[in-house]
Every structure is written in structure tokens, then in C-alpha cells.
Structure 1
Amino acid sequence: MGLIQGACRLLVVFAVVFREGLLSPLEGKEAWNYVEVRDGAHMFWWLYYADNQSAGYKDLPLVMWLQGGPGGSGSGFGNFEEIGPLNRDLEPRKSSWVQAASVLFVDNPVGTGFSYTERSDGYATNVAMVSSDMLVLLGHFFAEKPEFQNVPFYIFSESYGGKMAAAISLDLTKAIAQGTVKCNFAGVALGDSWISPLDSVMTWGPYLYTTSLLDDNGLSEVTSAAEEVKKAVEQQQFEKATELWSMAETAVEQNTNGVNFYNILTQEPDDKRVSTSGENFMTLQIRRHIRPLHRQSLSELMNGPIKKKLGIIPQNVTWGGQAEEVFSNMAGDFMKPVVDVVDQLLSAGVNVTVYNGQLDLIVDTMGQELWVKRLKWEGLPRFNALRWSALDDPGAQGVTGAFCKNYKNFAFYWILRAGHMIPSDQGPMALQMMRMITQQV
């Protein structure tokens, strides 16, 4: 499609949407605002009230969605590419989570999406800082929206968002006990989550080898690169580990002819593959993992009609404009595991769910199962002894869509035919899973 044709098509779509009122504020259907979480650090949130014909929003859960990266925008990617009421073409999404829950998108860490910092030192540098900022936002949100204080509140996450979600959940549990945040926290769901980075990296080779995407020589090279990452992590050299992680990804790309880290059954066209020549590792990783979440068509949507609709975004703030700084400032924290945080959540009685896509490479299921088996949680032996249950895919009659098992306050979902972005790859199955986790079925 030519640029002029594409622009005309977008104008037609936007005209229709404006005419139907979908891009105007809908009273009782949406809300959004900023919270200044630190001096000069502003975080943006966007709420969709549950839209269900048989139940009011107060009778349905509230789900907060956290995107990955760090630097990926929930208000953009999670909203228009995965679970929001409209897709990127502003057409209604049949598998939108808004039909079963109120959905809160938060652009975090500071600098992500429409969130922004006025100061160069305003970016978060670790998950503790990310969590502290989020607790400020949640305190303001539940004070501003007291009607949600008694509604079951769940945190759902994807990728690096899972690492942040674990830390946020633990701090939120403490804040509720102390009375500094008033909400009915009901659980956290960690989707394809960067909980134990090293377990992911160390299983890339075996996973690709068993799926016929590496030969013996390739397996040897990828394994060797992964071992270097392991050495750096064991020596607590986490910035070096992040750099070596980038080199391990390069070894994977070179030996698989450019496999897609987010879904092993797809491959980037030659003209869109990331070049590894002449770039430092940080620039390379930003191109691999941040820019795909800010593809041009989505950026045009967010910085055009969506920014106009919201009406509160400062003129000098560009959606996604600070995403690269967000990622760079978190480099020293990137490869640190948070398995101990998950253990603390389970011990505190918090409902924890792990879910993973069968076709994901960047956070493969093999790696997830490794760290889960190392949990110190007292219920783990009983959990491990259980057989999983098959779940029918609501989008494909007679087809198994997932397997799951749960014991007490821990559950695991294996989502079939899905990569890293499960709601995008298997929308109906993801919606069904969300309903099960939030105890609606």
C-alpha cells in the first residue's frame, strides 16, 4: 500500500470512529489521568470499565496490564494489539478482556508510552524503584476511584512486565496491610515473564535443537554463548551479563537464519531483520525488543488521534519517545532474577499464576519450568505431583488450547500455538484463561 493510499485509509477509519463516538470520552466507560510519582516523573494510566450485558463493572474484577521491554507501552501495545476493546485498525476486538473485567493500562516504568520524565535522572534503574513508583500511582488511583476499592484487583503481565509485577505485588501486599493503599488485591499472573533470565538463556539451545531449528554446530555455539552469560550472572556482573545476553541472541539469529524470538514459527523478512554489524549491544537490543512494540502504524495512531482524544498529553511528549532511555537505564538490573520474590508471594498466601506460550523463545517454557521447580514454597511437591488438565480452545471447537494445573494459591497454564504475546496469538484462549484466573468460570 502506498503512503498516500495508507494515509487515506487511516483518515477514513478515523472519520468513521469519530462519527461513532469511539474516540470521544465515553462517560462511565473510560477514564485516564497522570500521577506524578516523583518530582518531574509522570505516569499515565488509562482505564476501561467492564462492558458486560449481564453484569455491572462492580461485579467484575479489575485487571491491571503491565507490558514488557522495559519500555513497552501497555496503553498502546497491550491495548490496541492484545486485549483492549479496539484493535490497531480501531475495529472491535472479539476477544477483548473488557467484556469480562475492567482493564487498567499503566505506562510503566516512567518514560514508557505517554509516561514521561522532565529530568534526565528521573528514569527507574531497578525493579525496586519501578515498584515504588507504581505504589504511588495505585494509591492515587484507588483514592480517585473509590468504587474499585472493594472490587477484586488482579495484576496481569507479559515479559519484563512479569518481573515488575512480582515486585509490585509483594510491595502492594505490604502497603495494603499498612493501610497506605486501599484495594482488594486478589492475585498476580506472570505471562511469559522474565523472572529468571538465566534459565531462559540456558534453555534456548536445547529448545531450538529439539524443534529442528539448530543443528549440532549451532547448538554448540548457542550453548557456548549462554555459558558466558551464566558466568557473568554467577559473578554478579549484571551489566556484563546483559551485554553477553545480546551476544547470545546474535548467536541464535546467525544459526537459525533469523528465527523470531517471540514466535519460533515466524521469521522476519530479510529487509526487516536486525543488522548486528557496527552497533553496540544496547542499540541492538533496543532495535530487537523495544522498537517492534512501537511499530510505525501504532505510533501514528497513538501520536495522532489517540493523543488528541486524551487531551491531557503535553505537546512536547511523544508516545514512546523516551522508551529507549527506559530500557538503557534498566540495563544493570535486567539479568537479575526475582524467583525469591515469587516465593515470598506464595508464602504470603498471594494467588500466583504462571502462564507461557508454547512457541515463545525469548522466555521459553522450558526455562520457566526450571525456576518453578526450584521454588521453596511448601506446596511445590504436591503441585509437581499433579497431572495437568486439558482445556478446550474456545476459538477452535474440539481442539486443545492449553493445559493447566493448580494447587492452593499457585497455578500454571501452558498455552498451545501461542508465542510471547499470548493474547495476540490466541485471543479466545487468553480470554478464557483470564476468566479462570479471576474465578469467573
Structure 2
Amino acid sequence: MAVLGRVPLLWVSVLGTFCSAVFVSAEMWKETEVSSEAWGYVEVRSNAFMFWWLYYADNPTKQFTNLPLVMWLQGGPGASGCGYGNFEEIGPFDAALKPRNTTWIQAASLLFVDNPVGSGFSYTNSTTAFAKDLATVSADMMVLLKEFFKYKPEFQKIPFYIFSESYGGKMAAAVSLEIYKAIQAEEINCKFAGVALGDAWISPVDSVLSWGPYLYSTSLLDEEGFAEVSDSAKQVSDAVSRGEYKEATELWSRLEDVIEKNTDGVNFYNILTKDSPLTNELNFESPILEKLYLRHVNPLQKGNLDELMNGPIREHLNIIPDAVIWGAQASEVFINMEGDFMKPAIDTVDQLLAAGINVTVYNGQLDLIVDTVGQENWVKKLKWPQLNQFLKQKWKALRLSPTSIETAAFYKVRENFAFYWILKAGHMVPSDEGEMALKMLRMVTDQEP
């Protein structure tokens, strides 16, 4: 087994009474010399501790100061970026602790954060400290980021991007807007350069309404099944229109049941694979939320990854409190965010574009839960003045190298908005198409045309 021989960093913050300021004494800031990693905790609210893990860029010809900093936000809500995103997608090692050829540290320093509080190694000491909405999620992240850039000044002048996946995209959009506001108010010292929304849950209703047409067009629904799925999707849409978001969540779960029944268990994360039958391992008060959790969060922290994080990685980090088990509070994170699930965030993206923030949308061709058609549909609802010109623009084909014959993706860029269609990828683009994801990262961060 490979050994990750690095030196840990421990970081604890103390909040002011009204969370309007952060005070950190020298005694509470402990750091040792590190070569390529750092990690620690920030107390973002009373009884709420957020875990972060930084990898410095590792490039044979460039120093980390000449490459961007990328923060990765996982979905769920409740999934772990420090676990899944790190070891299953873009970190330097895979879940077997073998070096990853397509790791993003070749092109950027990587900051993984277990977010919202309670995800991964992040934890709370109180059942009332879990986030219930995007406003709290964003406020918590701002506490962490202000601390990070304060105590890691070497990153203050480096271009800073947020890349995200699934529900992490919804959170990334909200956090990006708060970063912009904090920069304008001179409350944070960083060089924010843009946000990338990967297979992002920006407009749940647009995803839901496109499931039927997408599955029918790929021969995964017959006409009768298409009609049944379409009827269930309309019920979700009607509930969202009424502002009944918890009801819409329940109807969303029932719609997924309808899809599974009619498609013989299609996988919501890659339509070319078969979904595993749900196993009831938890004791939710709500069977509907339990089913959603088992479909969309539980698979991201089971099996080898669970053993890795609670075994060798826990030992390597050497700062995880004894009472904290990786992923143990994920179900509580998911339950507490229930009221936020079906709310749209299109307006947040519009505000980012209006502020001049670079926004990238990227999506896997084979994803169902956030299918590309649904993404295109919410993009068409933007109030961005350049939208019509963007839509009229012809996309360009991307190949992995000048000698490649096969098309790996398509993309379009107009001013500060870009869209990447990633072929042969499902929901987890970097996991499915690692080379193309790395190429996209370099393009978004202006490292190649």
C-alpha cells in the first residue's frame, strides 16, 4: 500500500458572538512546514466544524504560484469532496492509493472541502447546527475561505476557481456570489477567477421534465412508459410552481420509482449501466427521504472508500476527533437540506454573469439525474443579455490531442459564459472521462486555448 507521507496542519478558528468577525489567537493557529499538502478544521459556527484538505500543484515545469487554485465541491448534499472527489475523481491518488494519471494537481493546487458541515470529516456537536439552506451553506464557506486566504497568503494573488459536481454546483453558484460580494466589500483577499458547474442541480424542475424525452430518445422507455414518466414529472413541476418544495421532493422520489420500474432499473448516473437495488440500511423517519439518500448519497461513501477514509486516511491525517467517523453525519446533512432540494438557482447564475464572473457549465452525455437536455433548458431561461448570441453560436469539437480522430467533447464560449458537452461521460465527468476533464480544466483556467 502506498504511504502518503506528509506533515499535518491543524487550524481552528473562534467566531465572534454574531459571526460578523473571526478572531484567531496565535495559540490556536498551529502549522508545521509542509511540502505538498495541508489540512485542518475551521469552526465556522458554534458546534460546526468544517474539514479541508489542500494539495499544492505538482507540475514538472511550473511552481504552484504560477498555477491556479481550484476548490472542489461535492454534491449530495452530504457527499464528501475530501473523500469521493479526491480519491475517486481528481486527487493525486485513487481509492487503492495508486497515483492517478489524470489528477488535477498537474494543472492546479486543489482545495477539497467537506461541505456542508456534517459531510465527510466535517462534523457538528449539536443536532441544531446542520445547515438547512443555501444561505447557511454559503455563510459557512465564507468563514472558511476568509480564514484560508488569511493564513495561506501565498494563494491571495493566485487565480482562484471553484469547480463542482451535482448539488455541489448549486452550492458553488451561491458561494461564488458571496465571494464576489466579499471582494467588493474588501472582506476577503483573493483573486476569484470563476466557477464551473458540473452536472449541476441548478434547476431541478428542468432536469425532471427532460427525463422522459431523454430516456425515450435513447430507447429506455416505450410510449406507455414515456407517458407515465411525463405525467409524474408534471406533478413535480406543478408542486414547484406552487412553491411546495417539500411536496416536490416527495414527488421527485416517486418519479424516480416510476423510471426504475419502466427502465428495468436504469442507473441515474450513467444510463449505459445498471443501477444496484436499494438496500435499506438506515432508519429514516421519512421512507421517501431514505430512498433518495440511498440513491444519491450512500453510494458515494460505501465499500472501499469507506474503509479507506476511516482507516489509512484517518491515520494519515492524525487530527480527526475520536468521535468523528467519516460520512456518519451525511444522512443528517441530507435530511436537514430537504426544503432546499427542488429550489432553482438560475437567478444566482444570472447575478454571477451580470457581475462579470466567469461561469462554465459542463455536463456528461450519459448522465440522467442532471441530463444535458435539462441543463440546456435552464440555460435558455437566463436573462443574460448575451444569451441569444450564445445560443446562435456554433459549438466547436474538442479532441484530446492533435492526432486524435475521436471527438471527446464540444464547447461554446461567449464572453464570460461557456458550456462543455462531455461525450461518453456520466454524472461524474472526471471519473468517467479523466483526460477530457483535465483538458477542460486547463481550458477554463486559461492554460491552453
State the TM-score, normalizing by the size of structure 2.
0.92
Which letter maps to 1:245?
A: W
**Within 5 Å, which residues of 2 pair with 1:296-335?**
296-335=303-342
The alpha-carbon deviation at position 268 of structure 1 amounts to 2.8
Deviations 1:268-299 (A, max 9, x none): 35xx44579x9710110111011111022101
Which letter maps to 1:103?
A: L
Residue number in structure 1 paired with 2:254: 247
Report the Cα distance in structure 2 between the residues aligned to 1:283 and 1:275, rounded to whole angstroms: 8
Report the Cα distance in structure 1 between the residues aligned to 2:255 and 2:414, rounded to whole angstroms: 36
Which letter maps to 1:349?
A: G
Aligned residue for 1:400, secondary structure, equals coil
- The alignment status of 1:59 with 2:66, answered yes or no, reads yes
Residue number in structure 2 paired with 1:6: none
Deviations 1:385-417 (A, max 9, x none): 110000003599311000001010000000000
Aligned residue for 1:260, secondary structure, equals coil
Q: Is the 8 A contact 2:268 2:275 kept in 1?
A: no
Residue number in structure 1 paired with 2:364: 357
Report the Cα distance in structure 1 between the residues aligned to 2:312 and 2:395, rounded to whole angstroms: 45
Which letter maps to 1:40?
A: N
Cα 1:213–1:22 change in 2 (3 A) is: farther
Report the Cα distance in structure 2 between the residues aligned to 1:308 and 1:152, rounded to whole angstroms: 32
Aligned residue for 2:267, secondary structure, equals coil
Residue number in structure 2 paired with 1:8: none
Which letter maps to 2:427?
A: H
Q: Is the 8 A contact 1:394 1:429 kept in 2?
A: no
The alpha-carbon deviation at position 210 of structure 1 amounts to 0.1
Aligned residue for 2:366, secondary structure, equals coil
Report the Cα distance in structure 1 between the residues aligned to 2:7 and 2:145, rounded to whole angstroms: 25
- The alignment status of 1:100 with 2:107, answered yes or no, reads yes
**Within 5 Å, which residues of 2 pair with 1:54-203?**
54-203=61-210
The alpha-carbon deviation at position 27 of structure 1 amounts to 2.5
- The alignment status of 1:238 with 2:245, answered yes or no, reads yes
Report the Cα distance in structure 1 between the residues aligned to 2:256 and 2:111, rounded to whole angstroms: 33
- The alignment status of 1:397 with 2:401, answered yes or no, reads no
Aligned residue for 2:334, secondary structure, equals helix
Q: Is the 8 A contact 1:73 1:108 kept in 2?
A: yes
Report the Cα distance in structure 1 between the residues aligned to 2:378 and 2:69, rounded to whole angstroms: 29
Q: CA RMSD in A?
A: 1.6
Deviations 1:134-158 (A, max 9, x none): 0000000101100000000000000
Residue number in structure 2 paired with 1:424: 431
Aligned residue for 1:68, secondary structure, equals coil
Q: Is the 8 A contact 1:258 1:273 kept in 2?
A: no
Deviations 1:247-266 (A, max 9, x none): 00111000000000000000
Q: Is the 8 A contact 1:65 1:106 kept in 2?
A: yes
Residue number in structure 2 paired with 1:383: 390
Which letter maps to 2:117?
A: V
Residue number in structure 2 paired with 1:214: 221
Residue number in structure 2 paired with 1:9: none
Report the Cα distance in structure 1 between the residues aligned to 2:404 and 2:128, rounded to whole angstroms: 53
Residue number in structure 1 paired with 2:12: none
Cα 1:111–1:102 change in 2 (3 A) is: same
State the TM-score, normalizing by the size of structure 1.
0.93
Which letter maps to 2:249?
A: T
Report the Cα distance in structure 2 between the residues aligned to 1:128 and 1:23, rounded to whole angstroms: 35
Hey, which of these two has a bigger chunk of helix by percent?
A: 1
Residue number in structure 1 paired with 2:18: none
Report the Cα distance in structure 1 between the residues aligned to 2:46 and 2:185, rounded to whole angstroms: 24
Report the Cα distance in structure 2 between the residues aligned to 1:396 and 1:306, rounded to whole angstroms: 40
Q: 2:353 aligns with which of 338, 342, 346?
A: 346
Report the Cα distance in structure 2 between the residues aligned to 1:410 and 1:36, rounded to whole angstroms: 34
Aligned residue for 1:246, secondary structure, equals helix
Report the Cα distance in structure 1 between the residues aligned to 2:326 and 2:404, rounded to whole angstroms: 40
Report the Cα distance in structure 2 between the residues aligned to 1:296 and 1:339, rounded to whole angstroms: 35
Aligned residue for 2:408, secondary structure, equals strand
Cα 1:23–1:56 change in 2 (3 A) is: closer
Aligned residue for 1:34, secondary structure, equals strand
Report the Cα distance in structure 2 between the residues aligned to 1:291 and 1:149, rounded to whole angstroms: 36
Cα 1:117–1:374 change in 2 (3 A) is: same
Q: 1:33 aligns with which of 34, 40, 58?
A: 40
- Structure 1 alignment gaps of length 5 or more: 1-12
**Within 5 Å, which residues of 2 pair with 1:281-300?**
281-300=288-307
The alpha-carbon deviation at position 24 of structure 1 amounts to 6.1
Report the Cα distance in structure 2 between the residues aligned to 1:124 and 1:180, rounded to whole angstroms: 23
Aligned residue for 2:314, secondary structure, equals helix
Q: 1:369 aligns with which of 373, 376, 379?
A: 376
Aligned residue for 1:406, secondary structure, equals strand
The alpha-carbon deviation at position 382 of structure 1 amounts to 1.1
Aligned residue for 1:51, secondary structure, equals coil
Report the Cα distance in structure 2 between the residues aligned to 1:122 and 1:307, rounded to whole angstroms: 24
- The alignment status of 1:337 with 2:344, answered yes or no, reads yes
The alpha-carbon deviation at position 220 of structure 1 amounts to 0.9
Aligned residue for 1:193, secondary structure, equals coil
Q: Is the 8 A contact 2:7 2:37 kept in 1?
A: no
The alpha-carbon deviation at position 311 of structure 1 amounts to 1.0
The alpha-carbon deviation at position 23 of structure 1 amounts to 6.3
Q: 1:433 aligns with which of 432, 440, 443?
A: 440
- Structure 2 alignment gaps of length 5 or more: 9-32
Q: Is the 8 A contact 2:399 2:407 kept in 1?
A: yes
Report the Cα distance in structure 2 between the residues aligned to 1:179 and 1:261, rounded to whole angstroms: 42
Report the Cα distance in structure 2 between the residues aligned to 1:166 and 1:425, rounded to whole angstroms: 24
The alpha-carbon deviation at position 55 of structure 1 amounts to 0.2
